[in-house]
Amino acid sequence: MDTSSHRRFKVFLRCEHAERLLSDATERKLCRAEIWRLRLHLAYCRACRRVRRQLDFLRRAAHQLNDQLETGDWSVPGLSDEARARIKRSLEHAD
Ligand SMILES: [Zn+2]
């Protein structure tokens, strides 16, 4: 069995290359060839699709945090009103 036949097709990225492109994509614009090869890779590679989802999630979380920093909205989703009131009280009585 000839496992080296893959090498002839440069369009097929290796996972480590695909992952690098995915993380590059968060910092710079990929060129057409890179996007095309990445898409092709994601079409058949489940592991890298999962990596992409994780990166998407992190990017969204970072955006959300950025928005909060800009708007000064420090309300934390998931923090109950009760817990918030308790924090507020302890801040008021801090001095
Ligand atoms: Zn892959």
Residue-wise pLDDT for 1-38, tens only, equals 445 545 555 678 999 999 999 999 888 999 999 999 99
CA of 36 from ligand 1 middle (Å) equals: 14
pLDDT, residue 68, reads 81
In a domain, 13, yes or no: yes
Residue 76 reports pLDDT greater than 70: no
- Cα(83) to ligand 1 centroid in Å equals 43
Residue 77 lies in a domain: yes
Residue 65: which of 74, 53, 56 has the closest Cα? 74
Q: Output the pLDDT for position 29.
A: 93
Average pLDDT over residues 83-93: 81
Look at residue 21 and tell me if it is in a domain. Answer: yes
1 lies in some domain: no
Is residue 2 in a domain?
no
| Ligand 1 center from residue 47 Cα (angstroms) | 5
Position 35 scores a pLDDT of 94
* Residues contacting residue 84 through CB under 8 Å, at least 6 positions apart: 75
75 domain residue, yes or no: yes
Tell me what percent of the residues of the chain surpass a pLDDT of 90: 39
What confidence category does residue 75 fall into, taking pLDDT thresholds of 50, 70 and 90? low
CA 44/CA 65 separation, integer angstroms: 33
**Distance from the CA of 14 to the center of ligand 1, in angstroms?**
6
Residue 3 lies in a domain: no
Average predicted confidence (pLDDT) for the chain: 83
Residue 80's domain comprises 8-92
Distance (Å, whole) CA 55 – CA 25: 10
In a domain, 68, yes or no: yes
Indicate the number of domains in the chain: 1
**Around Cβ 34, how many Cβ atoms within 10 Å?**
17
Question: CA-to-CA distance for 24 and 56, rounded, in angstroms?
Answer: 13
The Å distance, Cα 46 to ligand 1 centre, comes to 7
* Confidence tier at 74 by pLDDT (50, 70, 90): low
